[in-house]
Amino acid sequence: MSESESVYRKVEVVGSSGASIEDAIQNAIARASSTLRNISWFETEKITGHIVDGKVAHYQVDLKIGFRLE
């Protein structure tokens, strides 16, 4: 089956990090990659965080991750 004829599925995950939004995304993709094959793309849905003493203490990013079905 060619790439243009493939069928994909999306899952929703939430990545988190105390360092950055990018790290939160990377953490979510790394964890999803440990159980899903053929991951092809992601979409960010929502970015949230926690503030402590006037500073960002923690980031959370809601993602949709797409993967090709075999």
Q: Can you tell me the mean pLDDT for 35-50?
A: 96
- Say if CB 1 and CB 55 are below 8 A apart: no
- In this model, does residue 1 exceed pLDDT 60? no
For the segment 10-32, what is each residue's pLDDT rounded down to a tens digit? 999 999 999 999 999 999 999 99
- Between CA 24 and CA 31, with CA 29 as vertex, the angle to 5 degrees is 95
The answer as to CATH 3.30.1660.10 being correct for domain 20-68 is yes
